[in-house]
Amino acid sequence: MAYGTLRVHVTVASSALPLEGASVTAGNITKITNENGIVLFENIEAPDASLSLDPSNTQLPYSVLDIEVRKENYQTITVRNAQIFADQVALLNMDLLPEGRNYAQNEEDIVPVHHLVNPSRYSCASFDEINENGLQQQWVLNYPIIPKTVTVHLGRPTASASNVTVSFRDYVKNVASSEIYPTWPRESLKANIYCQISLVMNRVYTEWYRSRGYSFDITNSTAFDQYYVHNRNIFESISEVVDEIFNTYIRKYQTINPYYAEYCDGRQVWCNGLKQWGTVDLANKGYNAFEILKYYYGDNIELVTTNRIEGVSGSFPGYSLKNGMRSDAVATIQMQLNRIAVNYPSIPVIYPVDGIFGAQTAASVRAFQRQFSLTADGIVGSATWYKISYIYVAVKRLAELTSEGVEAGLNFEYPGTPVRQGDRSVEVQEIQFFLNKIALFTSSVPSVKIDSSFGASTKAAVIAFQRLAGLTPDGIVGPATWNTLVEAYEDTLAIQPPQQDLLGEYPGTAVRYGDRGQNVIRIQSALNSINESNGTLMTLTVDGIFGSRTEEAVFAFQRNNGLAVDGIVGPATWNRMNQVLSTVFNNPILASALNSRLREVIYDSYTDLMWDTTVNSKTY
């Protein structure tokens, strides 16, 4: 027989103040807490530690102990079946309520058998499973956070059960103590705890339950979530690991979201993810925690540490998104709609994802609204926001082991496998976008429709680009073609391609100081092109905000063109800008200079790349 230790910390509920002089009975031994509210029980009999390291063992690898805490003028609390492991320090925090107040939990808390003794498959409910249970909405936070607290529902999602709110660290320590043995090697503990951290962060990031109207973040049902046992004891070895790594989680390369790190015990229950018992064997072979994770999840993962420790708030920005707005929330909607368009071809794709709510974005929003029976007004209010995010999480399968992950904007990295005719994906969208941007600079590459579908026209454009770039013209976007496309696209970003009528038709109302939106963007872009052509040093930030610098540039343009100098872009100023732009874009000297620059930075092996500057000769 071996021995373990129990450390009990007694505090006053709600204030966390230590409670000196409390009577703590563990088994048949009673001790009194010191000034720090702590009492230590040593030499508690427990089975040999080898039992908890043997996956074939069928005996209970720990002893159990009933603990009662009493203090005059406070309510008595009893915890039954606290678990004691050999050579481990068990930790138990007991919060006492003053007499006369209702105790939120049962007077007796019973710690059930450890999860590894009688496991059920741990697997977060899939999207389809959730729908079968009547859950209908979900959305995604703007970025992953470590929540300050986690609210746990003590039962299945629809069960009538209590909710408890605990600190994030305490939640992870409880889950780890309930799901793995504290006697396991440290690297095994770390690997398992990384998974547990990532899973609860995934639940918070996707707002899996709160988006459906529930008042909790996660349940303690192992049919849906992780095994949390309220008021159970934890273990010092596990507590130390959690304190070290609590703000580190798993994610896939080039994604944002915490990874859905599915796991199971690997002995009585099998799954596609990490095997808890298997981590012990790997750790004993010398694997570190990250190597263990890669063994089960593949090389395409990384560990990320964040200092974003925040309270949880809803993802909707609090105001409707509409034409002319610029914000990160607009970029989020654009990115989500583009991914949804892969599965719903009737939704037009938005490129570039720039955070500017223009005509493309409005058209995509309206198509989405029509697809899902919402009012097709092209405005993203709360109902449309939540529906977009709900469908996005569905098609990305963010709460599943095979999640695609959430990317940050355009993905310039080669996707890992060739993209070819017949494919439908976001990568196809990006190829089409790159081709269209390059097509603005040369008639050798035809423009294509950005529709997620790699059809015959896209293949023809890829072949044309490959011939221009000296690549094998097979119409398949492998690593060489992909990287050359990206390089060409990036090198064109600083060059304004020739366009006819950049400003378009006069919008009907004057644009002036204080205005915001797409018309201001057109004016700022037009003034920058005009100023570049005549050698003026003034360059405007194209931000859609008609501020003092934009007004100053309008003053200068009006003075230089014999217009009324009022800083307001009315019909006369607007039309004159169009006339000047037409001259700029058809200036052969400027075109030649830009062509030389493009040839130098993109295709310096090609001397025959020419600008097509004939009005109306280009198909967009």
Residues 56 and 7 in one domain: yes
Where residue 281 falls among pLDDT bands split at 50, 70, 90?
Answer: very high
> What number is the average pLDDT over the span 224-251?
91
Number of CB atoms found within 10 A of residue 58's CB: 8
Residues 575 and 459 in one domain: no
Residues 273 and 143 in one domain: yes
Asked whether 346 and 369 are in contact (CB, 8 A), the reply is: no
Can you state the angle between helices 276-284 and 289-297, rounded to 10 degrees?
Answer: 130
In a domain, 37, yes or no: yes
Overall size of the chain counted in residues: 620
Where residue 192 falls among pLDDT bands split at 50, 70, 90?
Answer: very high
Residue 471: CA atoms inside 13 Å, Cβ hemisphere, count? 21
Asked whether 63 and 82 are in contact (CB, 8 A), the reply is: no
3-class SS string, 420-450: CCCCECHHHHHHHHHHHHHHCCCCCCCCCCC
Residue 153 is predicted with a pLDDT of 94
Q: What token pair was written down for 389? A: 């995010």
CATH of residue 434: 1.10.101
Where residue 39 falls among pLDDT bands split at 50, 70, 90?
Answer: very high
Q: What is this structure's pTM?
A: 0.54
> What number is the average pLDDT over the span 303-325?
76
Residues 294 and 154 in one domain: yes
Per cent of the chain over pLDDT 70 is: 79
* Spatial distance between the Cα atoms of 172 and 355, rounded to a whole number of angstroms: 36
Determine the residue type at 447: S
Where residue 229 falls among pLDDT bands split at 50, 70, 90?
Answer: very high
**Which has the minimum average pLDDT: 141-150, 311-320, 474-483?**
311-320
* Spatial distance between the Cα atoms of 165 and 204, rounded to a whole number of angstroms: 14
Q: 490-544 pLDDT, tens per residue?
A: 766 655 444 444 577 788 889 999 888 778 888 988 888 787 766 666 778 877 8
In a domain, 608, yes or no: no
Instruction: Pick 3 or 128 by higher pLDDT.
Output: 3
Residue 233 is predicted with a pLDDT of 94
Whether omega for the bond prior to residue 418 falls within 30 degrees of 0, making it cis, is no
Residues 147 and 284 in one domain: yes
∠23-25-28 over CA atoms, to 5°? 140
Residues 102 and 207 in one domain: no
Asked whether 469 and 484 are in contact (CB, 8 A), the reply is: yes
- Residue that terminates a domain, selected from 110, 140, 175: 110
Instruction: Pick 72 or 493 by higher pLDDT.
Output: 72
| Residues 6+ positions from 298 with CB-CB distance below 8 Å | none
> What number is the average pLDDT over the span 352-370?
89
- Max intra-chain CA distance, the chain: 100
Determine the residue type at 336: Q
∠411-417-423 over CA atoms, to 5°? 85
Residues 135 and 78 in one domain: no
CATH of residue 6: 2.60.40.1120
Alpha-carbon 206 to chain mean position: 8
In a domain, 321, yes or no: no
Q: Which residues pair with 463 in a beta bridge?
A: none
Q: What token pair was written down for 435? A: 């081709």
Count: domains in the chain = 5
In a domain, 20, yes or no: yes
In a domain, 104, yes or no: yes
**Domain range spanning residue 46?**
2-110
Q: 330-351 pLDDT, tens per residue?
A: 988 898 898 888 877 888 888 8
From the number of C-beta atoms within 10 Å of its C-beta (0-12, 13-18, 19+), residue 155 rates as middle
Residues 352 and 297 in one domain: no
Residues 389 and 456 in one domain: no
Residues 266 and 341 in one domain: no
In a domain, 23, yes or no: yes
In a domain, 510, yes or no: no
Where residue 411 falls among pLDDT bands split at 50, 70, 90?
Answer: low
Task: Report in angstroms the alpha-carbon separations of 241 from 24, 89, 264, 388, 586.
Answer: 28, 14, 20, 38, 67
CATH of residue 553: 1.10.101.10
190 has a pLDDT exceeding 80: yes
Where residue 366 falls among pLDDT bands split at 50, 70, 90?
Answer: very high
Instruction: Pick 311 or 147 by higher pLDDT.
Output: 147
Residues 104 and 132 in one domain: no
DSSP-assigned states of every residue in 199-218: HHHHHHHTTTTGGGT-S-SE
Residues 231 and 132 in one domain: yes
Alpha-carbon 60 to chain mean position: 40
In a domain, 287, yes or no: yes
